[in-house]
Amino acid sequence: MSILYSALLMGGTGLLFSIFLVIANKTFHVEIDPRISQIEETLPGVNCGGCGYASCASYAEAIVKKGAKLNQCVVADKDTLDALGTIMGTKVVKGEKRIAVVMCRGDRESAKFPGIYRGIKDCAAAIYSGDVAKRCKYGCIGLGSCVSSCPFDAIKISAHGIPVVSLDKCTGCGNCVEACPRGLIELHPVSQKIHVYCKSHDPGAIYKTVCTNACIGCGLCVKAAEADGKSDALKTADNLVIVNYDNYQLKPEYIEKCPTGAINIEQNIIIK
């Protein structure tokens, strides 16, 4: 009799819980827009973060719920964008491709290395420990933190000790930008081919003791641009020439005036 009573008690309790769960499910049920899963399945699934969201799933949800732009995925090709447009009922235009640009030319031939680094193979660790072999305090450490951060195998340390970026493989996800502790990597549209490959603010008089490829802030390229009627193209500030990317209008002729080659065309980029 006690066994039957226990069975009935447990069965009744289970029935009550089942009824409660059914009611709770109907009460708190949230309808999920099927477009979210459709978009997530359409996206490349790399989860690189180049779109500005933590994952493809987060980006898919942002598109449907927050109206995020459909062309933010840096990996998506035309077919993917067309598919996204079909799901959302609109036309998607892919923006200009952006790639990583390493703003340093302080390689083994030009930069001064008074010592040998023997620590952890990580750029941030080298800076924090103070054990940096390269004398320039603004230059590339060259230990490859940017390389290990790239999910597309688009950046390598060259034989000269400076990272080089593959124009074909780079998607502009920005992982290497975040990985560089000295802020030497920037994302730029592929149409911007001329850059000042230096971040040093040291006076020009000491550049020979640090790096012969450094910008010395002489302003010769700035004057060349001014003579060409492009006074807004370049400016000199704190011993460094700065490019006006908001009004990008540089010409190869300005490069010829640079005595160190700091301003140049597509350095540190592999073009096939």
As to burial, measured by CB atoms within 10 angstroms (0-12 exposed, 13-18 middle, 19+ buried), residue 17 is exposed
pLDDT > 90 fraction of the chain, expressed in percent and rounded: 69
Asked if residue 242 has pLDDT above 70, the reply is yes
| Amino acid occupying residue 54 | A
Q: How many domains does the chain have?
A: 2
Continuous H helices in 89-179:
123-129, 145-149, 175-179
Q: What pLDDT does residue 264 have?
A: 95
Q: What pLDDT does residue 49 have?
A: 86
pTM: 0.79
Asked if residue 225 has pLDDT above 90, the reply is yes
Q: Do 168 and 246 have their domain in common?
A: yes
Asked if residue 233 has pLDDT above 80, the reply is yes
Measured in whole angstroms, the distance separating CA 90 from the mean position of its chain's CA atoms is 28
Structural domain range at position 169: 98-270
Q: What pLDDT does residue 25 have?
A: 62
Average pLDDT, the chain: 89
Q: What pLDDT does residue 131 have?
A: 80
- Flag whether 226 is in a domain: yes
Contact present, 242 and 234 (Cβ < 8 Å): yes
pLDDT > 70 fraction of the chain, expressed in percent and rounded: 90
Q: Do 82 and 212 have their domain in common?
A: no
Q: Do 46 and 169 have their domain in common?
A: no
Q: Do 70 and 103 have their domain in common?
A: no
Q: What pLDDT does residue 18 have?
A: 72
Q: What pLDDT does residue 213 have?
A: 94
The pLDDT-based confidence of 118 (bands split at 50, 70, 90) is: confident
C-alpha closest to that of 84 among 108, 114, 106, 64: 64
Contact present, 173 and 98 (Cβ < 8 Å): no
Q: Do 55 and 106 have their domain in common?
A: no
Q: Do 177 and 69 have their domain in common?
A: no
Asked if residue 17 has pLDDT above 80, the reply is no
pLDDT digits (tens, 9 = 90+) for 33-68: 899 999 999 999 989 888 889 899 999 999 999 999
Per-position DSSP letters for 234-267, written without gaps between them: EEEETTEEEE-GGG----HHHHTT-SS--EEEST
Q: Do 47 and 138 have their domain in common?
A: no
Q: Do 197 and 244 have their domain in common?
A: yes
- Flag whether 222 is in a domain: yes
Q: What pLDDT does residue 13 have?
A: 73
pLDDT digits (tens, 9 = 90+) for 142-179: 999 999 999 999 999 999 999 999 999 999 999 999 99
Q: Do 245 and 134 have their domain in common?
A: yes
Q: What pLDDT does residue 204 have?
A: 84
